Every structure is written in C-alpha cells, then in structure tokens.
Amino acid sequence: MGTTNKKQSKVGFPTRVVLFLIGLISLALILSAGHSIITHKEQRAEYLENRARDLAMTISRTAGGRGRRSSRLLWEEAIAGVYEGRGDSVRFVVLFDGDGGILAHAGFEGAVVPADLTALENQISSGEYLYVYEMSRRGGPWWDTNQFQVSRIALGLNSAEADFLVRQAYVHFIVSGIALLALWILSLYLIHTVRRFLDLKVREESERHLTALGRMSATLAHEIRNPLGAMKGLTQVAREELPPDHSTQAMLKTVVEEAKRLEGLVTDLLSFARTRELQLAQFDLVGLVEEVVTLTRQETDETEVIVSVSSSVEKITVNSDRDGLKQVLLNIIRNAVEASSPGGQVSVNLYAKRERAAVIMVKDQGSGIGDTDPEELFQPFKTTKLRGSGLGLAVSRQIVTRLGGRISLLDNTDVGANCTVEIPRGGKASLRSGVQSALKEDSR
C-alpha cells in the first residue's frame, strides 16, 4: 500500500540477506570463470611447449643419433619431414650452431630467413608459437667446428591449434555469465513475488481493519445524524424566535456552526464507510480542477491564500469518475489551503504522462508533514490539524485506488508538502481496470 507496507515487507522478508548471498554466489562464479580462463591459457602454452618439444626430440632422434650427428643431409631430411608431415601445425624449423648461426631451415619459402635467433624471435607473429630446444652435449663436442654440429632446434608452431583450450574457458565464462543473469533475474523475480505476497497480506489485514472500522463508522453516522439534525433545526428555530440582540444569539450561533461541523464529520464517515458506485465518463480534467478551485474561493478569500493552476496542455481528457475526482481534489486543495499561512500560495500543476495517465500535483507553502510518516496520514482518523476528521486523505486514496490510480504525499525539501495524484487517462483498457478494481474493492 505504500511506504508502511514496504517497511513491513522488508521486516518480514530478508531482502538484503538474500541479495548478499546471491552476490557471494555471483562473485564465486565470476572468480571461477576467471580462474578457468587463466588455467586454460596456461594449459594452452604448456600444450604448445610439449608438442614442440616432442617434435624437436623427434628431429634429434632421427638425425642426431650416434655416428650421424654431423650429417647435414640427415638433419635437412629430418626437419623437412617434420615440416611437411605436420601440415599447417608447423610453420618453420631452424637449426642453429653453437655460435648462433643458422645451419639449416625449412618453412621460409618466399620469406626472409632470419640471420640469428634474436631476429627469429622478432619475426614471430601473434599466431605463432616459438620453441627453442637445447641439444644435449653428450656424445661428443657439439662445438667442434670441423663437423656439422647442431646446438639448438627452433620450431614455430601454429598457435591456433591449441585455441580449443581457451575456447573451452570462454565457453565456461559465457555459460557462467548466462547462469548469473538467469540467477539474478530469477532471484529478483522471486523477491518481488514474495514481497508482493507480503504486501498483499498486509493490505488484506488492513482491509479487514478498515472494513470493520467502516461498519462501525456507518452505524455511528446513522445514529448521530438524526439527533444532530434535530438539534441544529431546533437551535435555528430558537434563534429566529429570539430578538437579534438577545444575549444568547452568539451561543446559539456557535451551536449551529458546531452542528454543521459535526454534519461534515458524519458525511465523511458515510463516504468512508460506503463504497460508491463508479460513474465513468469523459471530461476535461483541467476544467474540473478550475471548478474545484472556484468552490474553495471562500476559504482562500478568508485566509488570503492564492491558488494557481497550470497545465502542460490546454485540455486533458480523461475517462474516469468525475464526482469521485472532484471529492478527491476538494479534499487535497482544502488541506493545502488550510496548511498554508495567510498570504501563502498553493500551486496546482497538471500534465499528461504520455498517453496513459494524467498527473495532478498540489504544492503548498505550509509547515510540511515533519517527521510523520506520509502513509500514516492516509489512515482513517489520522490528522495533523487541530480541527479535522482525519478521513479526507483516507477517502481520497480509496477513490483513487478504485479508479486504478495512485496518490502519494511527500514533504518538500524547502517548505510545505506535495500531494500527487496519478490516474489513468481512459480508453477501454483503463475502463476495464477501473471496473475490476471497483469489483475487487466491493468484494472486500
């Protein structure tokens, strides 16, 4: 129902605890996915290194055995066999001597052959992996310049062949992201559903209370109205029978005025207790507001409060209950006028919210609502005024809610208070919504 219900819902359902736990689970999933990417990248590098080492050892065993270490032909056949037999996985093979010079190579067709290992390292592209295999020194002095001695074997591999490992990590990351998104959507939906359920339970309890209160109010109103009318009538007759300058005229006048005030309270009680049938029709909301301002002219003249009306458009057509909205606007504007100091100003602003709703904002320059919870002022018999029934805002919310709209009260940051009414503008959908709301309210 508003702020009060939301506070109660939060007490009944640990939203922050649930969100905190979901956040921890999300953080764990993110860290797991990040660790998976790092681990798979390490595995990718390890995979390429192991594969290059196996190829280098294959070349070494093929051409570097006992009695064949110095045969250039065997070395060239060995590196050519590895280069040509591995397809696109091997980009090049280079043999280096002890001084870093190139002895033989394969895979540089049409490309510049690097002069040494440093040049080769600078020539590596992003899609290649370079591995340098250090030959074993066992079996003779490999640095003997009189023989064909290989010191290092450098292999360039196509790094794309190991990308499947990284792709697995990214698939894991994407799946974790989708799982996180689904988790948050589902969690927020469940939280919203549970809080909505708790709000409905609170509202149901409040409706039961208000229903019982309405029945009691209706009974009291009926019991009070008849004797009160008799008292006022007899007092007025007595005033007419007595001379105008009689000493009791002032007291009798006070009795009549207080009787009228009690009649207003009885009327408010009946309005609150009875659910009036909605009378939906099209009308100009701007014209209705101006009419209500005219009806409050007597109060504004007495207090010298200025009521100004402004609208974003010249005419706002709505399909709603005119009499019900008239009562709502009378209650709100009169409250604003009574809350304002003599000579103050009350502004009524209207604007169309897209094509679906119309908004009325009433701002006063009074003392505001202070530390009072705005929702408490919508409860029956709750008022900050010295003389008031405390039913005006309760009846207003009842009417606006049945019309499918919303009403709220906020304390202004500078001075006064701001009451906002939002109602559907009309159309078949809005008519059905208003009627359904009315039927639900009547069933309660």
Q: 3-class secondary structure for the chain? A: CCHHHHHHHHHHCCHHHHHHHHHHHHHHHHHHHHHHHHHHHHHHHHHHHHHHHHHHHHHHHHHCCCCCCCCHHHHHHHHHHHHHHCHHHEEEEEEECCCCCEEEEECCCCCCCCCCHHHHHHHCCCCEEEEEEECCCCCCCCCCCCCCCCCEEEEEEEHHHHHHHHHHHHHHHHHHHHHHHHHHHHHHHHHHHHHHHHHHHHHHHHHHHHHHHHHHHHHHHHHHHHHHHHHHHHHHHHHHHCCCCCCCHHHHHHHHHHHHHHHHHHHHHHHHHCCCCCCEEEEEHHHHHHHHHHHCHHHHHHHCCEEEEEECCCCCEEEEEHHHHHHHHHHHHHHHHHHCCCCCEEEEEEEEECCCEEEEEEECCCCCCCCCCHHHHHCCCCCCCCCCCCCHHHHHHHHHHHCCCEEEEEECCCCCEEEEEEEECCCHHHHHHHHHHHHHHHHC
List the pLDDT tens digit at each of the 444 positions of the chain.
344 444 444 446 788 888 888 888 888 888 888 888 888 888 888 888 898 889 888 888 877 655 555 677 888 888 888 888 887 788 889 988 878 888 888 888 767 788 888 888 888 888 888 999 887 655 444 444 445 677 888 988 988 888 888 888 888 888 888 888 998 899 888 888 888 888 888 777 777 776 776 677 667 666 777 777 788 888 888 888 888 888 888 888 888 878 877 777 777 666 665 666 778 888 989 899 899 888 888 778 877 888 888 888 888 888 888 888 888 898 888 888 888 888 888 889 998 877 788 899 998 888 777 777 777 777 766 665 555 556 778 788 888 888 888 888 887 767 788 889 999 987 444 444 444 444 344 444
Instruction: Supply the angle between the helices 249-273 and 163-241 in degrees, to the nearest 10.
Output: 150
- Cα separation of 152 and 94, whole Å? 8
pTM above 0.75, yes or no: no
Residue range 278-443, CATH number: 3.30.565.10
The residues pairing with 408 across neighbouring beta strands, listed in sequence order, are: 420
Q: Are strands 152-158 and 128-134 parallel, antiparallel or unpaired?
A: antiparallel
Phi, psi of 148, deg, nearest 5: -85, 90
Q: Residue 87 and residue 108: Cα distance in Å, rounded? A: 14
Q: How far apart are CA 4 and CA 205, in angstroms?
A: 13
Adjacent-strand bridge partners of 418 = 363, 410
pLDDT of residue 269: 66
The pLDDT value recorded for residue 141 is 42
Q: What is the structure's pLDDT at 17?
A: 86
Q: Is 157 exposed, middle or buried (0-12, 13-18, 19+ CB in 10 A)?
A: buried
End-to-end CA distance of the chain: 15
**pLDDT reported for residue 144:** 43
